[in-house]
Chain A
Amino acid sequence: MSARFEFSFEGRPITAHEGQSVAAALLEAGERCLRIDEAGNAKGAVCAIGVCWECRCSIDGIPDTRACVTEARPGMIVSRQHGLSPCADP
């Protein structure tokens, strides 16, 4: 049985399994909107295999990180990107 742990998304705690992707943990927690694009549209996971880049988030300060191919780790800080800036208040 894998360990469970928490990371944060937009300041909220999210529970994940060891070995789970950031996107899967967020979907399981009911989070759908992972990013606000340059035109202000909400975006979420689409292809889930790293091709479409729609789920890119800021993860531990690194922008444009694909949530679907990034393994969740304890204490990770994940936030939505807004347009071209890595977070709401750059």
Chain B
Amino acid sequence: MAAAIEAAARGCEVTVLDESVRPGGQIYRQADPRLPGTEFAEPTELARKKRLLRRFNEILHAIDYRANTIAYAAFGNGEIHVQVEDRTEVLKPDAVVLATGMRERAIPFPGWTLPGVMFAGGAQAILKAQRTSPGRIAVVAGCGPLPIVVASQLTRAGTKVAALASLRSPLAILRSPGGVWHGRDIMREGLRYGSSLLNAGVARLTGYVPIRALGNERLEAVQLARVDEQGHVVPGTVREIACDLLAVNYGFIANSELAAMAGVRIRHDPDGGFWLPETDQEGRTSLPWLFAAGDTAGLRGALVAESEGTIVGAAAASAVRTVATSDALTDAIAARRRYSRFARVVRETLTVPVALWRTATDDTVVCRCENVLLSELRSALDSGHHSLNAIKRHARPGMGWCGGRMCLHSVAVLAELHAGVAPGKMMTPRPMARPVSFAALAQQKRTVAP
């Protein structure tokens, strides 16, 4: 949104491709205006959301904003292939800014496929956009700030949060007072969420992670166990808690498939988004027409994304046309610097020890779409299939509906854990980045020469 605003201000013709029904992305996701009820977020967060959406609404008349539009392929020649309902279209703009954001990082454990086990951000999306709660009695778990926020918002929505299990104490962040100071406004928000949990009497389990979800056809209880600093389960610490919702988040994985498909150089950053396009300070990738902004270029959160969107939007505009006016980007650069310092501290809380992937047992599903069990993955590794491409061809993880978004990072980590394979290289991303029907492919509009 910020990149579109800036590029439009610099005189570019801007098209925004949005997978959602309405603007906002994940963080500023908007509910349907017809829905009753209120938001469960802090007023300061809602004020930021309102401010950015207002700025975006002001340029809507001047840009080509396309809702419900999926970019399913990007090629080295600059073509972007998009799907809208039962049609597809090939676009070839002069510059492309990828602001594809992140998805949640899952760690497979026995029972994690049971209905009722959700991502914490998924539970939040239901709260945010649907104004309802996905559960009646919840256990919230994981690391970093999201589980705290989601646990608090669940209590506000009337869900009983039976426990909030955190990999490490959220107070550990105070060990870096300098970084915290740069994000003091966001920290205050976090403290308000934290204190609302204390007021609601939510039990806190520090150092605990979910090791097994129990239930028949649906979640009925979760087993949590304490883990040591290295992520190994401490024997004799298992606790079982009855619940119908387990909301879990272990950080994020970048949506970098389109960047990789276009052929940009990719770097590996395990806790900052896993596979990321290499970018410079202005979001340039190794392809001159392709830019990446915000979390797509490395996990740093919504405030960095907003200021970086402005910076990258300006750089993309310069790549397209000679801009007569070059308004200073001083404010955006300062904001990005400040919140990047805070983001570095927050990222420490999202460091996940590799041993947590040992909670998966041989009969645990690793790839949900294709029902690939850990035992099958291990036999593929034992047979010498070590690269992600080879593992995929042999055992099928990543070949299902989600295109590997849920499991491939885990496959890489498990390959490292069980076969000592360096997880570095991404699976070769090929079209379609999302499932597209043949009918939609048959109805293709192409305004540019191939």
Residues of B within 8 A of A41 (CB): 113, 365, 371
A48 touches B35 (CB 8 A): no
15 further contact pairs, Cβ within 8 A, besides A19-B31, A24-B129: A1-B36, A2-B34, A2-B35, A17-B34, A24-B132, A24-B134, A27-B133, A27-B135, A33-B115, A39-B371, A44-B114, A45-B122, A47-B103, A47-B121, A48-B118
Residues from chain A with a CB closer than 8 A to the CB of B21 are: 69, 71
Indicate if the CB atoms of B122 and A19 lie closer than 8 Å: no
Q: State whether A42 touches B217 (Cβ < 8 A).
A: yes
| Cα distance, A2 to B405, chains bound together (Å) | 35
A38 on interface, CB distance cutoff 8 Å: yes
A28 interface residue per 8 A CB criterion: yes
Residue in A44, A48, A64 with the greatest tally of chain B CB atoms within 10 Å: A48
A56 interface contact, C-beta 8 A: yes
B residues at A contact (CB < 8 Å): 19, 21, 26, 31-36, 103-104, 113-119, 121-123, 125-126, 129-136, 217-219, 244, 365, 368-369, 371, 400-402, 405-406, 435
A19 to B402, CA, bound (A): 25
Q: Is B115 touching A34 in the complex (CB atoms < 8 A)? A: yes
- Cross-chain contact B218 with A33 (CB below 8 angstroms): yes
A54, B369: Cα distance in complex, Å: 8
Q: Interface residue count for A (Cβ, 8 Å)? A: 38
Q: Is A49 within 8 A of B122, CB to CB?
A: yes
Minimum distance in angstroms from B220 CB to a CB of chain A: 10
Q: Is the CB–CB distance between A56 and B36 below 8 Å?
A: no
Say whether A44 contacts B122, CB under 8 Å.
no
Say how far B411's CB is from chain A's closest CB, in angstroms: 15
Q: Which B residues touch A1, using CB under 8 A? A: 36
Residue of A nearest to B255 (CB): A51
